[in-house]
Amino acid sequence: MKPLIAKIKPASGFSRLAHVGLNILLPLTVFIFVRIDFVQLALSIILLSKWRMFVVRPRFWLANIRANAVDIIVSLSFLLFMVESASPFTQLMWATAYALWLVVVKPASSTFMVSLQAMAGLLFGLVALFIGLGDGPLYWLVLLTGLFCYLAARHFFDSFDEPYAKLLAYLFCYFGAALTWVLGHWLLFYANGLVAQPALLLIAVGYGLAALYYLDHHDRLSKLVRIEIMATTTVIAMAIVASLAVNITATVRDLLQ
């Protein structure tokens, strides 16, 4: 009996294989539905896969949604990337990345991996947001950018038991929303239209701040490393602002001629 019991434990044996198999089947199913142009069905399957959030009492639903928000953001982002991809090979690559997220990254619980989850949510969420709603109303971009920044920050700080996690998350939320409101009036896209300048700037600032916090928390933040991270973030920010200024100046000059 003991060998059989060991095999049906969720962490190993048959249950583990079944869990991994289902996690691989989900991206494959989404890929197939995207290929046959059933995007709404693919979206429904992704949302239905989160049913475990609601198997508890309703008073815990909001907390479960927040805890799973980064996973939902990343999942929907991969769906959008597959829909926007021009070739089946690229779509398959995004489906493979989605499977790696579900099998390797999402289940991990170490401080580093949870931090990586938060940074992935910020990266993929903001890139997908501006791809999908870049031509939409500005208030939606401002609202959703602030929300994504808040959820990514809460996910990051919760892994450190930070007493001011909520306050810091609200500050990053306000910063993201305010930055999007300012830059959203003149959107520029880099890397062949893949990344908008507000997303790139928020990702650079977010990653820089997260690296400083993470290294300081583990007593690995030397003065040289601090200078390198801050200098890199500053250079990226200045380059984005400079490119925006050049673009605006060129547009105004063309209008005046």
- How many whole angstroms separate alpha carbon 180 and alpha carbon 143? 9
Q: What confidence score (pLDDT) does residue 32 get?
A: 94
For the chain (257 residues), the mean pLDDT of every run of 10, in chain order, is 43 66 89 93 92 86 90 96 92 95 92 95 96 90 97 93 91 96 86 85 94 91 91 90 82 76
Q: How far apart are CA 45 and CA 33, in angstroms?
A: 10
Contact of 199 with 127, CB cutoff 8 Å: yes
pLDDT in tens, 115-173: 999 999 999 999 999 999 988 899 999 999 999 999 999 999 988 988 899 999 999 99
Give the model's pLDDT for residue 2.
Answer: 41
pLDDT given for residue 1 in this prediction? 41
State the Cα–Cα distance between residues 120 and 114, nearest whole angstrom. Answer: 10
d(CA 14, CA 184): 50
Name the DSSP class of 87: S
What pLDDT, on a 0 to 100 scale, did the predictor assign at position 14?
62
Distance CA(152)–CA(70), nearest Å, equals 7
pTM over 0.75: yes
- The domain locations on the chain are 1-107, 109-257
* Count of C-beta atoms within a 10 Å radius of residue 110: 9
Distance CA 69, CA 85 (A): 24
| Count of CB atoms situated within 10 Å of the CB of 10 | 10
Extended beta strands in the chain, E state = 189-190, 195-196
